[in-house]
Structure formats: structure tokens, C-alpha cells
Amino acid sequence: MSVHIDYLYVNSGVANICISWKTEANWFVLKKLLKGEPCSCTKLSKYSEMTALNYAIFDAINTRLMGDPKAQASTKCSKVCCNYSNGHFTICITVPASLSAVRKALNIAVYNFRPSAMYAGYCTNIKILNGRPDKKEFAWCCNNIGSPKMHVMVVGKVNLGKENSAKITGLNIISESCNAKVQPYKKITPDAVPVSHAETMGDTEFPTLKSSSKHSTLLLELISDFLPQSTAINSNELIIYDKGFKMNDSMRDRLGRWCDSKFGKIDNLSDILTWHLSTKCVDCETLNNVANSKITTSELKKALLDI
């Protein structure tokens, strides 16, 4: 496993550390696990086993950062959350905007990324989903995740310092420190393809809005903020938990005025919007795309109204 770190300066008192890796998972199943309520489903939904393992990894990192007094004292972590979007499982860690806090939190997260050590958590999650844990299926899931390329995006006001004579910055120090904490992965045998992989992915019964824009996640997040209804975002799909919902001209007109009042005439919204998305636990690839784009209020408004 390798850890690649990007950084975006945003004037904030805290730093959001978003950690993403490419994996198979099911967003709907993840929402069930986040609630922690036993499921009465007669069979597992597609990718339930992979979701159970990814969530077990998150739970181990969350428990260490938020539940261990020593880790809490050293990182002063205030929040850990997770999400699955655009083919990536993402964990977001909020710490004070200091180089030390970011480095220590990342070291703990990387060190505790050990899929093969998550069998107990995996079993708990599968039982919540009303399934039966199987060691061979667990082994397959571990091998499928293996030792992935981990993408990290640090967003906040973190003083990384200037390059010294050896051209070493704070970002280099964090990267070297994290990669030193990477745990080697050894393939587990025997393994077997999980039963849920034969299932098909279901659709929601509620109204949805979809976007094909390269900034689809951003646009749907903003519409979610605008709408008074309860909503949720599954990659490029916004689910509105109101069966009578319709996006009509009157609502589009109010959305346009909301966009103007919220963002005004700022020349480039990319930094503000990247920070906003990092608080929503969006995958690092999306964060990087937004951070490296120039987005004006007029362009954003047009894209929102085209959905």
C-alpha cells in the first residue's frame, strides 16, 4: 500500500483529512451499518460483504481516534465519519489545523488499516445485515482490498513551512511518516467469492435527481443543501425522501436566487466548495477535481439549473 497526499489551503481553524481507496461496496448497505439497527432482510444485498469489511476498517480507525485517551490527547480529533461514493470508500477525520495533529491522526489511520485483522468487526456487521459470516468470504474480501493506493486530501489552514536546504516540507514529512506506518499485506487462502456478488443492485423507490456533469457530486450536494426535504447522495444521484417531489420552474427560480445570495460574485469558488465537500466526506478524487477547477458563481448557477 502507498499513501499519496494532496493539500489545499483554506482559512479554517480545523483541518479535514479525507482518506479514500478504490473498492467495491454498496452505499445503501453502508447506511444500514451506520444506523447500527439489525436488518430483517431475507438475503444480503449486492456487495454486502465488501461493505461490511470496509466499515469494519472505518470502525477500527474511529475507535482508536475517538475512544483511545492517548490518541485523543495527541490528535485532539473531534470527528470521524465515512462514506462511499464514486467507487471509493472515504474516511474523513477532523483535527486542529496543525502539522502535528494531521501527522499523528494520519499515522494512526494508516497503521490501523489492516483488513485481515478485522474479522471480529466483519462478523458483527454481517450479523447486523442478517447474514452468516464465512471465513472464506472474509478472506476473499481482504484479498480484494489487499494493499490499495490510498489517496489523502488535507483541507485547512495547516502551516507546512518552507522548503529547507534539503527541499523537505511539512507535506514530505507527513508522507514519509505515513508510508512508514503502512502494514504489509499477505494474501489469505483459501477464499471464496461472497454470495451477494450474484445479486443485482436495487434502485430506490423515492424520486431522484441525476447529473452527468464532471462536478455532479458538488452540484447534488448544493441542491441537497437548498432543498427543505430530507435527502441523501449516492454518487451521481440525489435521493429526495418525498414521493411527491418534482423539480419545477418555480423551484429552479428559487434555486438560482439561493445560489446568487450564497456565493455572490466571488471570482473563484473552488477553495470554498472543496472545503464544503470535505465536510460531507466526499472522495478525494472529487475533491481534487473541484480544487483544480476554476468555478464562478454564474457557471455554478447555470450548471445547477441544468439538472
As for how many domains the chain has, the answer is 2
Domain membership of residue 42 as a residue range: 2-198
Q: Are residues 267 and 144 in the same domain?
A: no
Whether residue 153 sits in one domain with residue 225: no
Q: What is the pLDDT of residue 119?
A: 97
- The pTM (predicted TM-score) of the whole model is 0.92
Low-confidence ranges of the chain (pLDDT < 50): 165-167
Same domain, residue pair 46 and 94:
yes
Is the domain of 25 the same as that of 87? yes
Residue 189 burial (C-beta neighbours within 10 Å; 0-12, 13-18, 19+): exposed
pLDDT at 46: 93
Residue 111 belongs to some domain of the structure: yes
Q: How far is the C-alpha of 153 from the C-alpha of 139, rounded, in Å?
A: 29
For 252-281, what is each residue's pLDDT tens digit? 999 999 999 999 878 889 999 999 999 999
Q: Is the dihedral of CA 21, 26, 30, 31 positive or negative?
A: positive
Per-residue pLDDT at 167: 47
In this structure, the answer to whether residues 192 and 237 fall within a common structural domain is no
Residue 158 is predicted with a pLDDT of 87
pLDDT digits (tens, 9 = 90+) for 81-122: 999 999 999 999 999 999 999 999 999 999 999 999 999 999
Do both 194 and 217 map to the same domain?
Answer: no
Domain end among 175, 198, 221 = 198
Same domain, 163 and 212: no
- Confirm whether 203 is domain-assigned: no
C-alpha to C-alpha distance for 225 and 240, rounded to whole angstroms: 12
In a domain? residue 94: yes
Which of 198, 225, 260 is at the close of a domain? Answer: 198
Question: Would residue 124 count as lying in a domain?
Answer: yes
